[in-house]
Amino acid sequence: MLNFSKFSTRNFDWLLFFSALLLCILGLAAIYSVQLSRGPEVDYVRKQLIAIGIGLFSLFFCSLMEPSFFRTIAKPLYFFSLSMLGLVLVLGRTIRGTRGWFVLGGFSFQPVELAKIALILILAYSISNFGRRFERPLYFFGTLCFVLMMIGLTMMQPDLGSSLLLGTIWFVLMFLTGAKRSFILTFIFSGIAFSVFAWFFLLHPYQKDRVLNFINPARDPLGSGYNTTQAMIAIGSGKFFGKGLGFGSQSQLRFLPEAQTDFVFSVIGEELGFAGILIMLILFGVMLWRLVVLMENSGDDFASVTVGGIAVILAFQLFINSSANLGLLPVTGVTLPFVSYGGSSIIIDLTLIGIAQSMVMKRY
């Protein structure tokens, strides 16, 4: 399965790799700044460096694999991910109101991160097996079952942000592959009806507060609206060049909660200013552009859908996290890819880049 000839200046997409690496470095700088204000009781940088090292090893290992390997493991990985999502409900630890982490020693792992890879691969496997007969009901509703099982287990944690992320991967791939429009419209209207039902019977009070905060951030500025308000203050105070790393008042004085994870975007905005945000967005733009190029150069439907799914998940995470920091969307706990602190998320993000690299069509 390993193909060492793929790792060459002609085969390996170095722009894609370096855009991911530079985003990791930018994230490390922001995390280091947050750590300065937290004292010796935290060790964010060391743990993040270990995670990046593991992630880079996974990236290069996956990039050397033939696409047929990922096609072979698609079904086993999917069912393994389902079992982990179920097991974490029993044996997992509750962090920030979500029972979604396995904790071993000083490190934690979130199974829903692995579920992202599993869902992309099982959808690519299913789509490639339909022979482009995407108008069939079995195609739409069969693949819907795959994602609903994952979403159901994820909502039981509860983790609304990851559930939306999993659903978005499936929906965008259905739209891009040309699923029957009547099925898509039926799903949209069903989703609206379910949202109304969820508001009254499923969502927790803190989740409703996030939605109401989004509508009116000033509704409870010292309570449920505090995070969003502080994030917008931090970004606005950074102006063009920022206050400098370690000199942001909102992050250094701990006005900004979860500054190293959900609100690292605001830390960058405050300490590196608009220039820092712009550099970060350019790196993401380069990454997404290269993923589109790889998708177009992929050898078959499985490879093309896999790379497309990776582009969708990274773009959606960027959109949701940045919009939440800017007060444009409710805070859902979705991290900023490659930048936010978190071992399991950074390892999976880098692994996704490695899988995308492995799908390139050219062989030398």
pLDDT tens-digit readout, 123-152: 999 888 876 676 777 778 888 888 999 999
The per-residue pLDDT for 285 is: 96
Taking the alpha carbons at both ends of the chain, their separation in whole angstroms is: 16
Is this model's pTM higher than 0.85 or not? yes
Q: Is residue 225 part of a domain?
A: no
Side chain identity, residue 31: I
pLDDT at residue 90 tops 80: yes
Q: Is residue 134 part of a domain?
A: yes
**Of 252-256, 261-265, 290-294, 355-359, which range is least confident?**
252-256
Q: Is residue 239 part of a domain?
A: no
Both tokens of 283, joined, read 């790196």
Q: Is residue 261 part of a domain?
A: no
Tens digits of residue pLDDT in 162-221: 888 999 999 998 888 877 788 888 888 888 888 788 777 777 776 676 666 656 655 555
Q: Which residue has the higher pLDDT, 47 or 97?
A: 47
Among 315, 26, 364, 362, residue whose Cα is nearest residue 168: 315
Q: What share of the chain is helix, strand, coil (3-state, %, to 5)?
A: 70, 5, 25
Residue-number span of the structural domain to which 74 is assigned: 4-24+40-218+279-307+327-358
Mean pLDDT of all residues belonging to the chain: 84
Q: Is residue 229 part of a domain?
A: no
Alpha-carbon span 12 to 80, nearest angstrom: 30
Q: Is residue 210 part of a domain?
A: yes
* Mean pLDDT confidence for 317-327: 89
* Mean pLDDT confidence for 7-34: 87
Q: Is residue 98 part of a domain?
A: yes
Helix or strand holding residue 109 (H, E): strand 107-109
Alpha-carbon span 288 to 286, nearest angstrom: 6
Residues of the chain with pLDDT > 70: what percent? 88
Q: Is residue 207 part of a domain?
A: yes
The per-residue pLDDT for 299 is: 73
The per-residue pLDDT for 364 is: 35
Number of compact structural domains in the chain: 1
